[in-house]
Amino acid sequence: MSPYDALRSQLFTKTSRLRIGFFVFDGSFVPVPAAQRAVLHAKSLLEAKGHEVSRNRDDNRIFFNLFISIRKFTSFR
C-alpha cells in the first residue's frame, strides 16, 4: 500500500454535487461528430451520477478570442 493511497482516496471520494457547464460548438470551429458524441456521452454519465450539467449559452466569441490569444503567444514551428 502506497502512502499516497489515503490522500488519493480523500481527493476522489467527495460526494457533493457538481455544477458543470459545457458546449459542443464554439461558434467558429465545427467539431467532428465523434467529438460531439463524446461530450454528450460524458454529459449523460455525469447527470446519471447526480451532477447538474447545463449547456453554456454564453457568447461563444469568448471561446474563439481565447483560442486566438493562446495561438498568438504559442509558437508552432
Q: What confidence tens digit (pLDDT) does each residue in 6-56 have?
A: 666 666 666 788 898 888 877 777 889 999 999 999 999 999 999 999 887
> Which is more confident, 67 or 36?
36
Q: Is residue 53 part of a domain?
A: yes
Q: Is residue 8 part of a domain?
A: no
> Which is more confident, 2 or 1?
2
Q: Is residue 23 part of a domain?
A: yes
* Per-residue DSSP letter, 68: H
Q: Is residue 36 part of a domain?
A: yes
Domain count, the chain: 1
Q: Is residue 47 part of a domain?
A: yes
pLDDT at 34: 96
Q: Is residue 29 part of a domain?
A: yes
pLDDT at 53: 92
Q: Which domain holds residue 44?
A: 18-72
**Is the pLDDT reported for residue 72 higher than 60?**
yes
